[in-house]
Amino acid sequence: MIIVLRPDSTEAQIAHVLDRIRELGFRPHLSQGEKRTIIGVIGEEDKLRAEPLSALPGVEQVLPILKPFKLASREFRRDETVVTVGGECGPPVKPVRIGGGSLALIAGPCAVESAEVLETIASHVKAAGANLLRGGAFKPRTSPYSFQGLGEAGLKILAEVGHRHGLPVVTEVMDPRQVDMVFRYADMFQIGARNMQNFDLLREVGQTRKPVLLKRGLSATVKDLLMSAEYILSEGNPNVVLCERGVRSFEDSTRNMLDLSAVPNVKGQSHLPIIVDPSHATGRPDLIPAMARAAIAAGADGVHVEVHSCPEKALSDGPQALLPAQYAALTRDLRRLAELMGKTM
Amino acid sequence: MIIVLRPDSTEAQIAHVLDRIRELGFRPHLSQGEKRTIIGVIGEEDKLRAEPLSALPGVEQVLPILKPFKLASREFRRDETVVTVGGECGPPVKPVRIGGGSLALIAGPCAVESAEVLETIASHVKAAGANLLRGGAFKPRTSPYSFQGLGEAGLKILAEVGHRHGLPVVTEVMDPRQVDMVFRYADMFQIGARNMQNFDLLREVGQTRKPVLLKRGLSATVKDLLMSAEYILSEGNPNVVLCERGVRSFEDSTRNMLDLSAVPNVKGQSHLPIIVDPSHATGRPDLIPAMARAAIAAGADGVHVEVHSCPEKALSDGPQALLPAQYAALTRDLRRLAELMGKTM
Amino acid sequence: MIIVLRPDSTEAQIAHVLDRIRELGFRPHLSQGEKRTIIGVIGEEDKLRAEPLSALPGVEQVLPILKPFKLASREFRRDETVVTVGGECGPPVKPVRIGGGSLALIAGPCAVESAEVLETIASHVKAAGANLLRGGAFKPRTSPYSFQGLGEAGLKILAEVGHRHGLPVVTEVMDPRQVDMVFRYADMFQIGARNMQNFDLLREVGQTRKPVLLKRGLSATVKDLLMSAEYILSEGNPNVVLCERGVRSFEDSTRNMLDLSAVPNVKGQSHLPIIVDPSHATGRPDLIPAMARAAIAAGADGVHVEVHSCPEKALSDGPQALLPAQYAALTRDLRRLAELMGKTM
Amino acid sequence: MIIVLRPDSTEAQIAHVLDRIRELGFRPHLSQGEKRTIIGVIGEEDKLRAEPLSALPGVEQVLPILKPFKLASREFRRDETVVTVGGECGPPVKPVRIGGGSLALIAGPCAVESAEVLETIASHVKAAGANLLRGGAFKPRTSPYSFQGLGEAGLKILAEVGHRHGLPVVTEVMDPRQVDMVFRYADMFQIGARNMQNFDLLREVGQTRKPVLLKRGLSATVKDLLMSAEYILSEGNPNVVLCERGVRSFEDSTRNMLDLSAVPNVKGQSHLPIIVDPSHATGRPDLIPAMARAAIAAGADGVHVEVHSCPEKALSDGPQALLPAQYAALTRDLRRLAELMGKTM
């Protein structure tokens, strides 16, 4: 940590900063230049970071040197984490590996609407090569007047349909009080973008060992995303898969702005797998296939795509869903790309 | 609602859109122009909004005409809402009115650290003219390794110290499971920026009648903020005060970007009071007084400022706290501005 | 164009709006609903767009229906434009096609520093498969104290070195007064991000027929980018190649945020080719190869990459340059991707 | 400057970095900690800043300590600069002071349309208390098909009308080739937001001594704005007035997002005056008065407001103009605020 002093800082102020650092158990290194005096404090930055050193009189800025996350970092674990989803609840479902060269192809409707509709969609996406089924039972909707999901009934349908097709299922959990219930049905928890910094919820899923798909918040930096993963890891659950799904921006022709550079950016700093959701990122079916291909070419560990057999009657986010035939065409492209990237689907 | 058709839409597609609208119980109006065909559907937009009309083949875009919120709108209620905080638990706390010309001066430390520290701060801010005491007992921290708050012990200290000084207290609630506990101690719930779209939490505080301070999310539009207020109002709790506290931006010399235009923007569309938090918005004590003054001049119903008697030892967000003397100087300025704006403190 | 009236608009105000529209030579269509009255004006939106209809009393909002660009649109020209660069100045340089399945591989240093350095870089990138050489002679630098480029001497070096290697050259023009000079040396003008809305400069290059590489502004929407292309096209120059190079965002670990969805987004609306510059977008050599691959997979018509033989001594933007060996490895990957996408390099 | 080395940097790499710094004429200070090695280089950061040190092998990041601007900084000049506009061309124009307690009230139409319209507007704004008249003769329009201004004829009208009313005039210059012409008519150059980083234009106006109103770019940080001012100052023109006019953001109900914190932020770092333009910032007449008041309360040295006698027939930006009566009401409010802030209008 580097503490930069103001050009007008007094001797007494500098002495006070040095005392405070020593009081906290660290050894400061003072460098006095012509234009600025700086103090270096190397090592154990975690403890220092919590201290409001920039509030000390005479301090201009405090520059951290180390990254604020540990368990999520490449320095903590050099090898890529591979997260295994499903397979605990007996035969039909073969576990799916995410990371380390194995791609997750998560597909399904935005919301679980009925057993019939889901059955149709599941058979289509399974045939197209999807290996995980998604569907929301609890929906975070901007408006209190929108469809809010089927709740436990939706979870049941999801688990039954998915497992019948040999697909582990992933579904969103929004409230710490739902964690137990969702645990019983889902093979993987999804934490949505709006809850990326719902820290009580992160801790709650962190106390299980079930895989968690953690989506990037709408205005979260890559560092923020890794810090939220750190919450889950620090509770003892190592099975975290990150998901880039676009962030808020001034561009108004797409729903969000997909930040694909987050893929190599995360991979450089962390051992956790990261997948991409081009459906929520763009909100436009005409852009989804190109962005899914780009995600794989950028090195993502999978893609998460919304598919609906009848988007015009979907109860949630219909306009951004691909039709089954569009999804099948996309997976054909992805298969060739995966091969070229040395990955398996 | 206006449905714009693609230039290459077919007769069959147009007929299908018209059928679908009639099926939903509406009467479409078709206008065929030289370059585009559009369909207008006027009235009852709420029901239509939930329908994925833009997923219909041949549709280019769907333009909503009406605002998506009702209970929060000026059209629903012309007169400004005045929210009364405190006073239910008997003397010594005199209730405080927010809105309708009465300003909220909320002040206090980021986190409740101890009875002694809070006592010192409370006596200072009370003397300076604050009428509500703030302090966090549950802290949403980006890092799992940062101080997370004292929990119920913190709530007790806050209520005791605040009420002894005649100040109603406001504190953050982060988890639906904490609502009952926080209800017992606080005069006003705070929903933090990270939880503005934690819909289960919004519903939970909406089922009480205790005032709620709802902070704008880091990437929430003004419309999103009003939609979140709608969640609380639609559960039956009319006592919502909004808070502009800055949004994420590319500017890197301030913590967030304070969007003061949100104040007149909200007032034009909604009857709810809105206050401003320049502390979190800027993260810099040197900018807070100017922004607090600007907030009052823009028509805000109050300001929320972090004050700490010893920022350099604060357990949370010390660097952005004002010292008691700085706060007292600020309230002197605000008093003269309030007078000029025809408001009372 | 749809004009939405305020709920409290009077009969007189509505009549005034209708009169104004008729006065402008259009036929308004009035629809009175329960909650809102709207007026539709279909056709010839270009003329209407310039009128300040939203300033008319009683008007709540004006919603345009048609796109504001014409010559740049797919509706104006269905087939993809192919831009041919170089070859006018005699033998050594074989013209390069951009668009319609032919990829531009533009590479070179940020700035032309000397004939020796450029010679080294040019022979490396040529060997790796690049087909256009870039290098700045006029540099737009944030600081007046930074290296500003070699000016005409730099242009000479660029043309000589590039043409000797059979590579057409592209270089930035920043000032309308430089257009004639740059015209004499360069095979393609580059308009930098900071000048995307320097309309006098756009008009000036629009009056030539030399190809223009138009980079997206730091806070330009895709529509803004196409409107700037429209400036060039409307002066008579059809040879415009767009370039996505990242936009400003809150993410602070990359220089800008690369918006790859702009590639299919532009292709859906326009016939113009679009390439991607991952160097300026990320500012980080560790992210550039992944983003270049993603660009090709997203359907881009080429990539623009900074390469330097000794980044640590580069006079401009050294830290974001790839080394020649890194570039050669990248082009090997791109060649296989291009094949898969049905494109030629 | 602090150079942070990668955790895996080798002895040879560290030695190479130290050599390079010494080669550049500086003395490095090495600190080896348990987790990171850092190198401090204090003093003369300007020269070092231009060196691509982060491209050296083994370097993780380079942290600058000093600000990159000099002439614009408070450290260079402690006292507030007061810029005097007008008065050189003899009576009848009394010069206007901006800064140091004197407020600029700049008002007028977006574009000069005709002598008659401008005459009406000028007499209104003069009566209301404006002390500078604005009006565009060269208009930077997003669309090539929009009204582009009257050119020299517009400049003549502006100067004649303004000076007849005793008001110095300010108008935009967009192209270095127009600087001489605009110089002859205007009392103050305006550099628009889209040209804030048009460095050739900045240099050109920097070579005159005529005051320059420099508007913040749509995605410029406060530091970027000050760096652009540095371009003008470094050419020898000390008469720069900055203007905050809103930046691009995700909020879609206002044209831009007004960043009022830029006012105290600039004042803390620079001696230059700064005014605020709430018209372009919000694009909404209903928000302009509140934001103008907030600007003065935040400490701005003036406000720049568009006024039109007939917004519905304005040739440019009519919908965001105030009516003369609205402007007169606003200046009454501003007068009382100015008094309270200890400023004179």
- Residue B155 clears pLDDT 80, i.e. is over it: yes
Q: In chain B, what residues touch A321 (CB-CB under 8 Å)?
A: 55
Pair (B123, B227) in one structural domain: yes
Asked whether the beta carbons of residue D50 and residue C147 sit closer than 8 angstroms, the reply is: yes
How confident is the model at residue D292, as a pLDDT?
98
Contact flag D253-B259 (C-beta cutoff 8 Å): no
Residue A7 has what pLDDT?
84
Q: Nearest to residue B43, comparing CAs of B62, B24, B19, B27?
A: B27
D71 falls within a domain: no
| Whether residues C123 and C236 fall in one domain | yes
Report pLDDT digits (tens) over B321-345: 999 999 999 999 999 999 999 999 8
Q: Is residue B345 part of a domain?
A: no
Model confidence over D205-221: pLDDT tens digits?
999 999 999 999 999 99
Same domain flag for D136 and D254:
yes
Enumerate neighbours of C (3 or more CB pairs within 8 A).
A, B, D
Average pLDDT on B51-65 reads 85
Is residue C144, in this structure, part of any structural domain at all? yes
List the single residue in B with minimal CA-CA distance to A193: B197
Please name the residues in contact with D258: beta carbons below 8 A apart, sequence gap of 6 or more.
B259, B260, B261, D244, D245, D246, D276, D278, D281, D282, D291
In chain D, the residue whose alpha carbon lies closest to the alpha carbon of C318 is D52
Q: Do A312 and B55 touch (CB under 8 A)?
A: yes
What would the two tokens of residue C22 be?
């008729």
Q: Are residues D214 and D130 in the same domain?
A: yes
Tell me what pLDDT residue C61 has: 85
Contact A211, A85 (CB under 8 A): yes
Q: Count of domains in chain B?
A: 2
Pairing verdict, β D29-32 and D2-5 = unpaired
pLDDT, mean over chain C: 93
Which pLDDT does position B43 carry in this prediction?
Answer: 62
Work out the average pLDDT over B77-91: 85
- The alpha carbon of residue A298 is apart from the nearest alpha carbon of chain C, in Å, by 5
Distance from CA of D42 to the nearest CA of A (A): 5
> Per-residue pLDDT for A294 more than 80?
yes
Same-domain check for residues B197 and B281? yes
Domain shared by A161 and A49, yes or no: no
Residues of D in contact with A38 (CB under 8 A): 2, 40, 42, 65
Residue C112 lies in a domain: yes
In this model, does residue C90 exceed pLDDT 60? Answer: no
C40 and C167 part of one domain: no
Distances from the Cα of D223 to the Cα of B251, D228, D264, angstroms: 9, 9, 13
Residue at token pair 């009235």: B43
| pLDDT band of D158, cuts 50, 70, 90 | very high
Residues of chain C in Cβ contact (below 8 Å) with chain B: 2, 4, 7, 29, 31-36, 38, 40, 42-45, 63, 65-66, 75, 248-250, 252
Pick from B73, B173, B200 the residue to mutate for testing the A interface (most A CBs within 10 Å): B200
pLDDT-wise least confident of A51-60, A298-307, C41-50, D26-35: C41-50
Confidence of residue B89 (pLDDT cuts 50, 70, 90): low
My answer on whether C47 and C156 are in the same domain is: no
Residues B107 and B37 in one domain: no
C42 and B35 within 8 Å at the Cβ level: the answer is yes
| Residue C310 maps to a domain | yes
Least confident piece of the model among C167-171, D46-50, D226-230:
D46-50
Which of B142, B223, B235, B284 is the mutation pick for testing A, counting most A CBs within 10 A?
Answer: B142
A185 lies in the same domain as A316:
yes
Q: What is the mean pLDDT of chain D?
A: 93
* Chain A residues whose C-beta sits inside 8 Å of any chain C C-beta: 219, 221-223, 247, 249-254, 257-261, 263-265, 268, 281-282, 286-287, 290-291, 293-299, 336-337, 340
The residue-averaged pLDDT of C257-261 equals 98
According to the model, what pLDDT value does residue C89 have? 60
Q: Chain C residue closest to B219 (CA)?
A: C250
Q: Does the beta-carbon distance from D31 to A38 stay under 8 Å? A: no
pLDDT at A90 over 80: no
B61: nearest CA in chain C?
Answer: C65
* Chains in contact with B, where contact requires at least 3 CB pairs less than 8 Å apart: A, C, D
How much of chain B exceeds pLDDT 90, in percent?
74
Q: How large is the average pLDDT for residues D293-310?
A: 97
Q: What is the pLDDT of residue A106?
A: 98
Helices within C129-170 (DSSP H only): 152-164
Sign of the torsion formed by the C-alpha atoms of C73, C76, C80 and C86: negative
pTM as predicted: 0.94
D74 assigned to some structural domain: no
Say what the alpha-carbon torsion angle B10, B14, B15, B19 is, to the nearest 10 degrees.
150
By C-alpha distance, the chain A residue nearest B173 is: A200
Distance CA B339, CA D8 (A): 62
Question: What does the block give as tokens for C32?
Answer: 């009175």
Is residue A128 domain-shared with residue A233, that is, in the same domain?
Answer: yes
Across the interface, whether the CB atoms of B264 and D247 are under 8 A apart is answered no
Range of the domain at C231: 83-340
Task: Give partners of D (≥3 CB pairs < 8 A).
Answer: A, B, C
Q: What is the CATH number of the domain that holds A332?
A: 3.20.20.70
- Note whether D147 contacts C50, CB cutoff 8 Å: yes
In this predicted structure, which of A154-163, C2-11, C254-263, D96-105 has the lowest mean pLDDT? C2-11
* pLDDT band (50, 70, 90) for residue B225: very high
Which pLDDT does position B45 carry in this prediction?
Answer: 73
What is residue A190's predicted lDDT score, i.e. its pLDDT? 98
Chain A positions in Cβ-Cβ contact with residue B54 (cut-off 8 Å) = 319
Contacts of C57 in chain D (CB under 8 A): 312
Task: For residue C70, tell me if it sits in a domain.
Answer: no
Higher pLDDT, D56 or C270: C270
8 A C-beta contact, residue C61 and residue D286 = no
Instruction: Count CB pairs under 8 A between chains A and D.
Output: 55
Find the CATH number of the domain harbouring D49.
Answer: 3.30.70.1140
- Inter-chain CB proximity A252 and C219 less than 8 Å: no
Name the more confident of A303 and B55.
A303
Q: How confident is the model at residue B62 (pLDDT cuts 50, 70, 90)?
A: confident
Of A220-234, B128-142, B218-232, C53-67, the one with minimum mean pLDDT is C53-67
Mean pLDDT throughout B269-296?
A: 97
Given this model, what pLDDT does residue A148 score?
Answer: 87
Specify the pLDDT at position B44: 66
At residue A27 the predicted structure's pLDDT band, cuts being 50, 70 and 90, is confident
Chain C positions in Cβ-Cβ contact with residue A295 (cut-off 8 Å): 294
How does residue A183 score in pLDDT terms, banded at 50, 70 and 90?
A: very high
* Angle (deg, nearest 10), helices C262-269 and C222-234: 50
The residue of chain D nearest to residue A64, with distances taken between CA atoms, is D63
Domain assignment present for A37: yes
Inter-chain touch D40–A34, beta carbons under 8 Å: no
The complex's ipTM works out to 0.94
List Cα–Cα distances, B149 to B137, B174, B316, B324, C291, in angstroms.
5, 12, 9, 22, 42
Cβ-based contacts of A218 with chain B (< 8 Å)? 218-219
Within this chain, do residues C179 and C316 fall inside the same structural domain, yes or no?
Answer: yes
Confidence of residue B93 (pLDDT cuts 50, 70, 90): confident
Q: Please judge whether C7 and B65 are an interchain contact, meaning their C-beta atoms are less than 8 angstroms apart.
A: no
Residue B88 has pLDDT above 90, yes or no: no
